[in-house]
Structure 1
């Protein structure tokens, strides 16, 4: 396989789907009306952070796909993508904070699992997921606080 093409496909797919889901699940009046914790970042922070993370997720996915396709790391990469793309429609689209909380807890486990599963095989992919793990852990705390406050 042509490695640069695989990287381009993974990055474009992850970033493109992430942006599409974000565009279709924009925080609106409902989200603005919710009580939020003091550590809630301003709305403008989310798009650039997710864009950078999606590029890193795409790179890690391509690396695992190319070199470790039939491994737990690849399965965890796929699982975390499904959970990631499910969260926004649940939280913002369906306004279901409780279900979104369940999904984000599963997501943080899947992301941590990917880091562990890829650490020995592909350290760079594991390292690319550490900022993502930190952000998802923060988002889990934020989702939890919003759930408790509303």
Structure 2
């Protein structure tokens, strides 16, 4: 793995990735201020997780997303590939306001389906330069695929 970035910048870059991903998380949290109540009112499939699970799972996933982006950055990876990562963050940011704040379950489903595709493509692109960065995105992909099926089930049941 090429290490062309100056060592002193690596830690500030990691902090930058953590901050950017944290902004996505905070925007989601602000948009979901009444999410627990809304989630509880929805008819859900039997396999739906309790609302209390989302916070801890997303905390870990957001950290892996940040570290993955940073690991890819350290390889001097292509800007285009990093663009997919950025689009994924944007789609991630949009889902919670669409679903909870806007009550637009169909638009949220379109958003998360696109996110599934973007994260998969990002994994493939990142794997070309750094397997650890790609592997760190696998739990994210698994979780959003699960969330996609939950979003679809909620549409059908409600």
**Shorter-chain-normalised TM-score: which range?**
over 0.9
Does residue 15 in structure 1 map to residue 22 in structure 2? yes
Q: Give the C-alpha shift of residue 69 in structure 1.
A: 4.4
| Structure 2 unaligned regions, length at least 5 | 1-5
1:92-133 deviation line (CA, Å, top 9, x unaligned): 000100000000000000000011111121111100000000
| Maintained 8 Å contact 1:36/1:146 | yes
How many equivalent residue pairs?
A: 150
SS of residue paired to 2:74: helix
- TM value normalised by structure 1: 0.93
Matches of 2:18 and 2:110, distance apart in 1: 27
Give the superposed CA RMSD.
1.5
Which structure's CA Rg is the greater one? 2
2:70 is matched with: 62
TM-score by length of 2: 0.88
- Runs of 4+ in structure 1 displaced over 4 angstroms? none
Supply the distance in 1 between the matched residues of 2:24 and 2:138 (Cα, whole angstroms): 21
Q: How does 1:90-129 map to 2 (within 5 A)?
A: 90-129=98-137
Larger deviation, residues 117-126 vs 20-29: 20-29
- Conserved 8 A contact 2:36-2:51: no
